[in-house]
Amino acid sequence: MRSFIATSFAGLLFALGWYPAAYASGTLDTIRARGTLVCAVITEEADYTKDDAHGPLTAFAADLCKAVAAAALGDAGKARFLSLPDEQHGLKALQAGKAELMPAATPDMRMSAIYGVAFGPPVFFDGQGFLISRDQGVAALTGLAGKPVCYIGNTEADTMLVATAQMRNIKILPFPFEELGEMEAALVSGHCAAMTADISLLAGARAAFHSRIGNFEILPETITFDPLTPAYPQGDPQWAAIVGWTLYALIQAEASGVTQANVDAMLESEEPVVRRLLDDSSGLARALGLDAGWAVRAIKAAGNYGELFDRTLGKSSPLNLPRGKNALWTQGGLMYPMPIR
**CB-hemisphere CA count at 13 Å for 40?**
26
Q: CA geometry: angle at 320 spanning 183 and 168, to 5°?
A: 55
* Closest CA relative to residue 129, chosen from 182, 189, 202, 70: 202
**What is the percent of the chain where pLDDT is above 90?**
78
**Residue of higher predicted confidence among 325 and 282:** 325
Q: Tell me what the mean pLDDT of segment 99-115 comes to.
A: 96
Give the model's pLDDT for residue 52. 59
Give the model's pLDDT for residue 44. 60
CA distance 58 to 81: 10
Could you tell me the domains of the chain? 2-125+226-331 (3.40.190.10), 128-218 (3.40.190.10)
Distances (CA, A) of 133 to 16, 18, 181, 204: 55, 57, 16, 15
Give the model's pLDDT for residue 212. 84
Q: Tell me what the mean pLDDT of segment 172-194 comes to.
A: 91
CA distance 37 to 78: 6
CA distance 330 to 298: 22
Q: Tell me what the mean pLDDT of segment 235-257 comes to.
A: 97
Mean predicted lDDT score pLDDT of the chain: 89
pLDDT value at 18 more than 50: no
Least reliable range by pLDDT among 12-21, 76-85, 268-277, 304-313: 12-21
Task: Give the count of beta carbons closer than 10 Å to the beta carbon of residue 280.
Answer: 18
pLDDT value at 130 more than 70: yes
pLDDT value at 232 more than 70: yes
Task: Give the count of beta carbons closer than 10 Å to the beta carbon of residue 132.
Answer: 26
pLDDT bucket at 179, cuts 50 / 70 / 90: confident
Give the model's pLDDT for residue 149. 95
pLDDT value at 17 more than 60: no
CA distance 269 to 70: 22
Give the model's pLDDT for residue 53. 66
Residue 236 CB contacts under 8 Å (≥ 6 apart), including other chains: 25, 26, 27
CA distance 257 to 301: 16
Top mean pLDDT of 46-50, 171-175, 206-210, 305-309 is at 305-309
Tens of pLDDT, residues 258-317: 999 999 999 999 999 999 999 887 789 999 999 999 999 999 999 999 999 999 999 999
Give the model's pLDDT for residue 51. 56
Residue 161 CB contacts under 8 Å (≥ 6 apart), including other chains: 128, 149, 151, 172, 174, 196, 223
Residue 110 CB contacts under 8 Å (≥ 6 apart), including other chains: none
pLDDT bucket at 214, cuts 50 / 70 / 90: confident
pLDDT value at 16 more than 60: no
Give the model's pLDDT for residue 293. 96
Write the DSSP string, 59-98. HHHHHHHHHHHHHHHS-GGGEEEEEESSHHHHHHHHHTTS
DSSP conformation class of 20: -
Burial class (CB in 10 A: 0-12, 13-18, 19+), 250: buried
Give the model's pLDDT for residue 47. 45
Q: Tell me what the mean pLDDT of segment 71-92 comes to.
A: 96
Give the model's pLDDT for residue 54. 78
